[in-house]
């Protein structure tokens, strides 16, 4: 498959993850957690961690491929092309299950979602594995694709995100993110989703925040 065809397939897969796999993961979590915000935060963080872990795994995989091809192609002008071609043809060698364990380990120590303790993030293993595989394959594109950095309290960017249906559409700040935006270098190629609420980050003199 050409780079264009692989990119199109991965964009479709990422879109499906948002429209279907994400909702399936939400249903699993809602059996244990009543609060929708907590459920959405968990899935967003799982997605971000999956990209981070998959990108690290890709870098290590590429180093191993370079070492294995060096004896036969060292000094060749086509060395980098050979490395890229090998990776593209052997994406199935990616140990996605190991990445799933790394993602869950990171989620278990994330202070935003590591409570309540009765939630077993292994419930999301299938969802996490799919995101890891998508993220890993996206690193083999030219140029690679990545997700945008998002932080609670940042100014809402209409170019990167859609507001969730329950947002305050006049609020300027992001309360939390539901899904990350997908980037190609500095260009947004697929919008994410965020929740905005007016007054969510206001601090009263007494130190108490207002009710939303």
Q: What is the pLDDT of residues 4-40, one digit of tens each?
A: 999 999 999 999 999 999 999 999 999 989 899 999 9
pLDDT at 15: 97
> What is the H or E stretch that residue 179 is in?
strand 174-179
pLDDT digits (tens, 9 = 90+) for 127-145: 999 999 999 999 999 999 9
Judged against a pLDDT cut of 50, whether residue 209 lies above it is answered with no
Please tell me the distance from the alpha carbon of residue 161 to that of residue 152, in angstroms, as a whole number.
13
Judged against a pLDDT cut of 50, whether residue 210 lies above it is answered with no
- Pick 9 or 83 by higher pLDDT: 9
Residue-by-residue DSSP string for 14-67: HHHIIIIIHHHHHHHHHTT---HHHHHHHHHHHHHHHHHHHHHHHHHHHHHHHH
Describe the crossing of helices 22-30 and 125-138 by its angle, rounded to 10 degrees.
150
3-state percent helix, strand, coil for the chain, nearest multiple of 5: 50, 10, 35
pLDDT at 204: 46
pLDDT at 69: 84
Judged against a pLDDT cut of 50, whether residue 122 lies above it is answered with yes
CA 130 to chain centre: 11
Task: State the residue for tokens 């948002």.
Answer: 18
Taken as a whole, the chain contains a residue count of 212
Q: Which pTM does this prediction carry?
A: 0.89
> What is the H or E stretch that residue 188 is in?
strand 187-190
The pair of structure tokens assigned to 108 is 């278990």
């Amino acid at each position: 498959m050409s780079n264009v065809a692989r990119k199109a397939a991965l964009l479709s897969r990422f879109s499906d993850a948002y429209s279907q796999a994400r909702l399936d993961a939400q249903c699993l979590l809602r059996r244990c957690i009543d609060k929708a915000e907590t459920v959405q935060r968990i899935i967003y963080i799982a997605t971000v961690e999956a990209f981070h872990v998959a990108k690290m795994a890709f870098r290590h995989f590429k180093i191993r491929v370079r070492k294995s091809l060096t004896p036969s192609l060292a000094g060749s002008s086509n060395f980098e092309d050979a490395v890229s071609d090998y990776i593209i043809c052997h994406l199935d060698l990616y140990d996605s299950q190991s990445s799933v364990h790394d993602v869950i380990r990171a989620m278990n120590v994330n202070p935003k979602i590591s409570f309540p303790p009765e939630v077993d993030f292994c419930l999301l293993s299938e969802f996490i594995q799919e995101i890891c595989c998508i993220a890993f394959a996206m690193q083999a594109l030219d140029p690679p694709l990545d997700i945008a950095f998002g932080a609670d309290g940042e100014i809402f960017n209409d170019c990167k995100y859609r507001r969730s249906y329950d947002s305050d559409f006049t609020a300027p700040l992001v309360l939390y993110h539901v899904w990350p935006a997908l980037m190609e270098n500095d260009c947004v190629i697929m919008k994410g989703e965020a929740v905005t609420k007016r007054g969510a980050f206001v601090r009263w003199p007494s130190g108490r925040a207002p009710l939303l």
